[in-house]
Amino acid sequence: MKKSGFKAWLYLLPAFIFLAVFMIYPLVDVVIYSLEEGYSFTSQQSLGVGLYNFSKVLRDPMFLQALKNTFLMVIITVPISTGLSLLIAYGLSSIKKLQELFQTIYFLPYVTNTLAVGMVFMILFNDTEHSAGLVSAIIRFFGGAGVNFIKGPYWAKMFVLCFYTIWIVMPFKILILTSARASVNPNFYKAAKVDGASNAKIFFKITLPMISPTLFYLIITGFIGAFKAYSDAVALFGTDLNAEGMNTIVGYVYDKLYGSGGGYPSYASAAALILFSIVLTITVINLIIRRKKVIY
Amino acid sequence: MKVVLDHLTKRFPNRNKKIKTEVVAVDDFNFEIPDGKLVGLLGPSGCGKSTALNLICGLETPTKGKVFFGEEDVTEYPPERRGVGMVFQNYALYPHMTVRENIIFPLTNLKGNNKLTKEEMNARAEKAASLVQISELMERKPSEMSGGQQQRVAIARALVKTPRVLLLDEPLSNLDARLRLQTREEIRKIQKETGVTTIFVTHDQEEAMSISDLIIVMKLGRVQQIGAPQEVYDEPVNLFVAKFLGTPAINVFSGNVSGGRLYIGDKCVLETEGARDGKVYVGIRPEGFVPDAEGPFESKLLRVEVMGRDITVVSEHELAENPTVRSIVSAENRIDVTSETVRFTLKPNKVFLFDAETEERVFFKAE
């Protein structure tokens, strides 16, 4: 027994070493950075130890803006993208003709480069003196006033960011939900039909509970993904996100490390840990709900 | 409620799209299932029996023909309007619902005047549950129950809205041997108690014979024979039916009828007055052999299997379709195990002749 225990540890060692070097050590390091006041890379020294970095970050208006942006994005995009994906997945599995073609079309955004898509969105939503984007042109056609979604008011920018994020994350969700729905034994539907259940009832009472584990998985990963958003904002608004007022928490962390106002690893670490604790809290809440909503 | 099938036909396009010919799953079904009977649809896999059940249930629409429940034409009705209860092969119990919720589910779909209150639904569910003896399991999830218990829940769910016709698709195939025996008795009992016309599909002839009032033997989408189990066993209309029913299976030999006598090889084994001359298949039920030292039928003795009440004599005959011939004789007979050969006389009513070309029954006068 004892020998095999030793062997098991030996087999685990390579993975453990990698995890320790690339996961555990940096994590510990980030915690240390976040507690060291006024640490600088160049001098490799700090003024003392305390929670100063956290209070500084939490009072930084740029961080608060980033926090607000991130929360708005999460709250808007996760429910909408998941709900829409569910509808589309349901539609996709209901149609008979050209099903594979439509599945491919809906999956295309997934294999498209995010920055390229961002450029397309910029062209679509832009509205300057020289060129009007398609969206503004359409609004004008119906008698409205054109809006510059890229450089215009906050709500317009947030709208484009959410639109873009939803568009980018949906293909994966559609794919997962389509296969989840396909894996439900067709006999359940037959049984429900014989029992006289309407299509809506079959969807809400049979399909939805049966694919709920997948749905929860998508919601949790959706939350985590949206909280970690950064590249989406860069693709639309460029790298100077603070000037645009469209920064995200991850963007803030990056700025504090390497951005124009950078060189503050302690602030960056503190912000990263705040993000970590938010994501952790949300995930735990999700898991608790999931356990309460007894899925078979 | 009697069920009448009138020229019922179902064709499917071939799965391989390059093949243009259609697959005929159910070919021109014409029969009437009397009210309150338990009927077994019996056939090898792929013979279209499940399709036939789906046509009766309404999950499939026929290519041609009609389905009547009583005098009512239900061909165009969707399943929920037909008033059928169905038990699926894997039970199809909703895994996220408790037993109670599963049983109540069909009742929650009732509309208009048929709508029930919560109390009425519960009462009906309790009644259905007690009928199949699962009253104490009402709050469990399907995953917390054995296969046999799940089966009962499925039956309760099918019965709870008092269907006009109860349909069971291979109801016993997911159960182990002991449970299967028990459950088939149970199904028979429940059917007797409720008096609901019941049709069940099976590939197991023993299962069908043991509990059915009527069996319908199918092959490749066509009905071969309909009748009471004993009747079909005693008077099979063709070689397929004869071979499909009975354990151990019937022994088949190639033979010849000439001048009212049946020859297997060059030995005359039976007087078959009235049978026309020509090549035939000879089917002899295992119980049709009587050990007789002077008997006309001789085969090479392989071994004797003692079963207690009776003995199975396993022998070998060169003209048999299967290399071994199984005959069941009473244990009172003493078979000389050391002997090279064994001789029998044949019981004429256990011997069937089938035309070598058409495989249809050739009748003769048995004394």
Burial class (CB in 10 A: 0-12, 13-18, 19+), B262: buried
Calculate what percentage of chain B has a pLDDT beyond 90.
Answer: 49
Asked if the model's pLDDT at residue B17 lies above 80, the reply is no
The average confidence (pLDDT) of chain B is: 89
- Residue at B23: amino acid letter: V
Spatial contact of A57 and A33, defined as CB atoms under 8 Å apart: no
Q: Give pLDDT, residue A286.
A: 84
Q: Which two tokens stand for residue B67?
A: 């389905």
Asked if the model's pLDDT at residue B367 lies above 60, the reply is no
Asked if the C-beta of B90 comes within 8 angstroms of chain A's C-beta atoms, the answer is: yes
**In this complex, do A187 and B105 lie within 8 Å of one another by their Cβ atoms?**
no
Q: Which residues of A touch B (CB under 8 A)?
A: 185, 187-188, 190-198, 201, 205-206, 209-210, 212, 294-296
Residue B201's CB is within 10 A of a number of other CB atoms, namely: 26
Residue A198 falls in which region: left (phi positive, over 0), alpha (psi -120 to 50) or beta: beta
Q: How far is A154 from chain B (nearest CA, A)?
A: 45
**In this complex, do A195 and B106 lie within 8 Å of one another by their Cβ atoms?**
yes
The residues near B23 (Cβ < 8 Å, ≥ 6 apart) are B11, B12, B13, B14, B15
**In this complex, do A194 and B96 lie within 8 Å of one another by their Cβ atoms?**
no
Question: For residue A205, which residues of chain B lie inside 8 Å, CB to CB?
Answer: 94, 105
Helices within chain A (DSSP H only): 2-19, 25-35, 52-59, 61-94, 99-107, 114-125, 134-141, 154-182, 186-194, 199-201, 208-227, 231-237, 241-244, 249-258, 265-292
**What does each of the 296 residues of chain A score in pLDDT, given as a tens digit?**
556 688 888 999 999 999 999 999 999 988 988 888 777 666 677 677 778 888 888 988 889 999 999 999 999 999 999 999 999 998 888 887 788 888 888 888 888 887 888 888 888 887 776 777 777 778 777 877 767 777 778 888 888 889 989 988 899 999 999 989 888 888 899 999 888 888 889 989 999 888 988 898 899 899 999 998 888 888 888 777 777 788 899 999 888 888 776 678 888 899 999 999 999 998 898 888 888 765 55
**In this complex, do A198 and B85 lie within 8 Å of one another by their Cβ atoms?**
no
Residue-wise DSSP of A183-236: TS-HHHHHHHHHTT--HHHIIIIIIHHHHHHHHHHHHHHHHHHHHT--HHHHHH
Q: Give pLDDT, residue A138.
A: 80
The model's pLDDT over B148-172, given as tens digits with 9 standing for 90+, comes to 899 899 999 999 988 999 999 988 8
Residues B230, B232, B236, B241: is their CA dihedral positive or negative?
Answer: negative
Asked if the model's pLDDT at residue B81 lies above 70, the reply is yes
Phi, psi of A54 (to 5 degrees): -65, -45
Q: Give pLDDT, residue B18.
A: 74
Q: Which of residues 131-150 of B touch A (CB under 8 A)?
A: 141, 143
Spatial contact of B129 and B138, defined as CB atoms under 8 Å apart: yes
Point out which residues pair with B31 in neighbouring strands: B5
Asked if the C-beta of B95 comes within 8 angstroms of chain A's C-beta atoms, the answer is: yes
**In this complex, do B109 and A195 lie within 8 Å of one another by their Cβ atoms?**
yes
- Residue in B closest to A211 by C-alpha: B96
Asked if the model's pLDDT at residue B110 lies above 80, the reply is yes
Q: Give pLDDT, residue B251.
A: 94
Residue-wise DSSP of B333-345: SPP-TT-SEEEEE
Q: Give pLDDT, residue A294.
A: 54
Give yes or no for a cis peptide into A109 (omega within 30° of 0): no
Q: Give pLDDT, residue B148.
A: 87
- Residue in A closest to B105 by C-alpha: A195
Topology (CATH level 3) of domain B3-240: Rossmann fold (3.40.50)
Domain boundaries, chain B: 3-240, 248-362
User: CA-CA distance, A23 to A20, in Å (whole number)?
Assistant: 6
Among the listed residues B282, B295, B280, B283, the one whose alpha carbon sits nearest the alpha carbon of residue B335 = B295
The residues near A106 (Cβ < 8 Å, ≥ 6 apart) are A88, A92, A170, A171, A174
**In this complex, do A205 and B57 lie within 8 Å of one another by their Cβ atoms?**
no
SS3 content of chain B, % helix, strand, coil (to 5): 30, 35, 35
Asked if the C-beta of B162 comes within 8 angstroms of chain A's C-beta atoms, the answer is: no
Among the listed residues A121, A106, A81, the one whose alpha carbon sits nearest the alpha carbon of residue A233 = A121
Phi, psi of B290 (to 5 degrees): -120, 120
Identify from A195, A210, A295 which residue to disrupt to test chain B contact, counting B C-beta atoms within 10 A and taking the largest count.
Answer: A195
CA A221 from centre of chain: 7
Q: Give pLDDT, residue B213.
A: 94
Spatial contact of B79 and B252, defined as CB atoms under 8 Å apart: no
pTM: 0.78
Q: Give pLDDT, residue A86.
A: 92
Q: What is the arithmetic mean of pLDDT over B300-311?
A: 88
Q: What is the arithmetic mean of pLDDT over B302-313?
A: 88
Phi, psi of A146 (to 5 degrees): -65, 145
Q: Give pLDDT, residue A3.
A: 62
Spatial contact of B172 and B204, defined as CB atoms under 8 Å apart: yes
Spatial contact of B255 and B319, defined as CB atoms under 8 Å apart: yes
**In this complex, do A194 and B105 lie within 8 Å of one another by their Cβ atoms?**
no
